[in-house]
C-alpha cells in the first residue's frame, strides 16, 4: 500500500490544480496552495485501530502526509505532544480546560512540525538550498531539519528575535542573517534572493507542505480525545499556518468519517500591538491590512500582514469562531499563572490563549463546562527575557529562612 495518498495541489482561491511532484510555490493568482489526498482511498484502507500501534510521532499519519517514500522522511521524533488537563485553572473558569503542549517537541516549538514535513518533502523533490524569513522559531526549526536532511539553509530574522533561535540556526550550520527591521523586511530580502539565486522559497505558505506538518496538531487533538473533538480551540495567530492547518485537518477527518458534523469553534488570538486579523474579522473583511508599527512581547505573533490571512478568517468564520487581541501585561500574568498553578512554563504566545479563554468566558461566549483546548506553541525556556527574576544570594555558611 502507498506510504502517502498524496494526489495534487489545489488553489483554495481560484481552484487551479497543480502537479504535486514538481516544486510549487504560490498559485498564479497569488494564493498559497493546499495539498489534496485521495481521501476516499484512505478511508477504505486506514482505520483508527491501525493508528493505535504506531509510533508516537506525527508520522503515524503518513498516509495523510505528502512524503511519498519513507526513506525521505527527515525526523527528530516530532509530534504526539502532551494534551494536559488544567486541574486548577479549569475549575476556576468552570471549564474542562486543556493545554496542547507544543513545548515538548524537537526545537521546543511547534515550528518543528512544519519543518519536519516541509524539509522532508523538499528533499524528496530534489531541493538542495532553501531560504526563509523568520521571527525566530521557524528559522531554528528549519535550520535544524535542513541540517538533518543535508540541505543548505539561508535564514533571515529580525534583530529583535529571541537570541536562542540565533543559536539554533548558527550551530546547525545555517547561513544566518539579521535585519534591522521586521519579518516583513526579512521576507523582502529573501524574496529577492530566491529570485536571483534560484533557491527554494520556504517562507510561510510560499511552499505548500509546512501546513501539512502543522495540521497534525488537529489530528492529534482529535485522536487524544478519542475522536470526540473539543468545543473550542484557541490559537495564537501570527502567520496563521497552525489554525489553517488545524481547520484543514478537521475537514479531512470529517471526510474520512472519523469525526462527526460538529467542529470546534476556532479562536484566533493576536496581540493588541499587532492585530490585523482581529481587525479584519471585526470589520467583516475577507483579508487584512498591513499593521503599522507592530509591537508585542509575543514575538512569534508579530506578523503585520499574513499571506494566508483570508484562510485564517475563513477558518474562524466557518466554525463560528472568534478573533480577539490581548494585552502584553495580561499575557505575562497568564504565563506566571500557568507555571505556578499548573507547572506549565509556556511561551508568551501560548500564554495569550489563556487570556483569551478568560475574556471569552467572562463575556459568555464560552459557556460553563465547555471543553476548551489552549494551544501552547512553544516552551517558555526559549524566552529567558520575558521572566524577571530577582533571587537572594547566600554565602555557604548562610541558612535558609523558614
CB 320 to its own copies: min, Å: 30
DSSP state of 33: P
CB 382 to its own copies: min, Å: 6
CB 123 to its own copies: min, Å: 12
CB 181 to its own copies: min, Å: 5
By the 8 A CB rule, do 261 and 254 touch?
A: yes
Q: Which is nearer to its own copies, 39 or 119 (CB)?
A: 119
Q: Read out DSSP for 167-236?
A: HHHHHTT-EEEEESS-HHHHHHHHHHHHHHH--EE-STTTSTTHHHHHHHHHHHHHHHTTT---SEEEEE
DSSP state of 126: T
Grid cell for residue 231: 468545543
Q: Which is nearer to its own copies, 46 or 73 (CB)?
A: 73
At residue 176, φ and ψ (nearest 5 deg) are -110, 135
Q: Which is nearer to its own copies, 108 or 264 (CB)?
A: 108
CB 375 to its own copies: min, Å: 15
CA distance to 48, 127, 225, per residue, from 310 (Å): 32, 29, 29
Q: Read out DSSP for 342-384?
A: HS--B-HHHHHHHHHHHHHHHTTSSPTT-EEEEEE-BBGGG-G
Helix (H) or strand (E) holding 8: strand 6-10
> Helix H segments across 225-347?
241-255, 276-282, 309-318, 328-342
Q: Which is nearer to its own copies, 53 or 292 (CB)?
A: 53
CB 92 to its own copies: min, Å: 14
CA distance to 102, 157, 221, 224, per residue, from 375 (Å): 8, 24, 10, 14
Q: Which is nearer to its own copies, 147 or 311 (CB)?
A: 147
Grid cell for residue 69: 517514500
Helix (H) or strand (E) holding 133: strand 129-133
For CA atoms 31, 10, 254, 54, the dihedral sign is: negative
Helix (H, G, I), strand (E, B) or coil at 271: strand
CB 300 to its own copies: min, Å: 15
Q: Which is nearer to its own copies, 60 or 248 (CB)?
A: 60
Q: Which is nearer to its own copies, 260 or 384 (CB)?
A: 384
Q: Which is nearer to its own copies, 3 or 177 (CB)?
A: 177
CB 388 to its own copies: min, Å: 8
Cα Rg of the chain (Å, integer): 21
Q: Which is nearer to its own copies, 165 or 237 (CB)?
A: 165
CB 144 to its own copies: min, Å: 5
Amino acid at each position: 500500500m502507498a506510504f502517502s495518498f498524496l494526489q495534487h495541489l489545489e488553489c483554495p482561491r481560484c481552484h487551479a490544480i497543480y502537479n504535486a511532484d514538481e516544486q510549487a510555490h504560490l498559485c498564479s493568482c497569488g494564493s498559497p496552495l493546499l495539498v489534496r489526498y485521495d481521501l476516499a482511498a484512505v478511508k477504505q484502507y486506514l482505520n483508527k485501530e491501525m493508528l493505535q500501534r504506531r509510533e508516537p510521532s506525527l508520522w503515524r499519519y503518513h498516509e495523510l502526509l505528502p512524503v511519498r517514500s519513507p526513506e525521505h522522511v527527515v525526523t527528530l521524533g516530532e509530534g504526539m505532544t502532551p494534551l494536559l488537563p488544567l486541574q486548577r485553572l479549569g475549575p476556576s473558569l468552570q471549564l474542562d480546560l486543556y493545554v496542547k503542549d507544543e513545548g515538548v517537541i524537537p526545537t521546543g516549538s511547534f515550528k518543528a512540525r512544519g519543518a519536519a514535513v516541509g524539509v522532508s518533502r523538499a528533499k524528496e523533490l530534489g531541493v538542495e538550498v532553501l531560504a526563509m524569513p523568520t521571527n525566530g522559531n521557524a528559522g531554528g526549526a528549519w535550520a535544524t531539519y535542513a541540517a538533518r536532511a543535508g540541505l543548505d539553509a539561508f535564514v533571515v530574522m529580525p534583530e529583535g528575535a529571541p537570541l536562542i533561535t540565533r543559536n539554533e540556526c548558527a550551530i546547525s550550520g545555517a547561513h544566518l542573517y539579521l535585519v534591522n527591521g521586521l519579518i516583513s523586511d526579512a521576507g523582502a530580502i529573501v524574496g529577492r534572493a530566491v529570485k536571483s539565486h534560484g533557491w527554494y522559497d520556504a517562507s510561510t505558505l510560499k511552499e505548500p507542505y509546512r501546513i501539512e506538518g502543522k495540521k497534525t496538531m488537529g489530528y492529534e487533538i482529535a485522536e487524544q480525545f478519542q475522536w470526540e473533538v473539543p468545543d473550542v480551540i484557541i490559537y495564537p495567530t501570527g502567520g496563521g499556518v497552525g489554525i489553517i492547518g488545524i481547520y484543514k485537518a478537521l475537514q479531512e477527518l470529517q471526510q474520512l468519517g472519523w469525526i462527526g458534523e460538529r467542529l470546534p469553534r476556532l479562536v484566533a488570538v493576536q496581540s493588541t500591538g499587532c492585530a490585523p486579523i482581529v481587525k479584519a474579522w471585526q470589520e467583516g473583511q475577507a483579508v487584512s491590512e498591513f499593521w503599522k508599527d507592530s509591537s508585542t512581547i509575543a514575538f512569534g505573533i508579530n506578523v503585520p500582514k499574513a499571506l494566508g490571512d483570508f484562510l485564517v478568517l475563513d477558518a474562524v468564520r466557518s466554525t463560528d469562531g472568534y478573533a480577539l487581541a490581548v494585552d502584553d501585561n495580561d499575557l505575562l500574568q497568564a504565563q506566571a499563572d500557568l507555571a505556578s498553578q499548573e507547572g506549565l512554563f509556556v511561551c508568551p504566545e501560548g500564554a495569550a490563549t489563556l487570556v483569551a479563554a478568560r475574556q471569552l468566558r467572562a463575556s459568555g461566549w464560552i459557556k460553563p463546562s465547555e471543553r476548551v483546548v489552549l494551544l501552547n506553541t512553544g516552551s517558555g525556556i526559549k524566552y529567558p527575557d520575558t521572566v524577571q527574576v530577582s533571587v537572594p544570594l547566600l554565602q555557604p555558611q548562610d541558612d535558609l529562612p523558614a
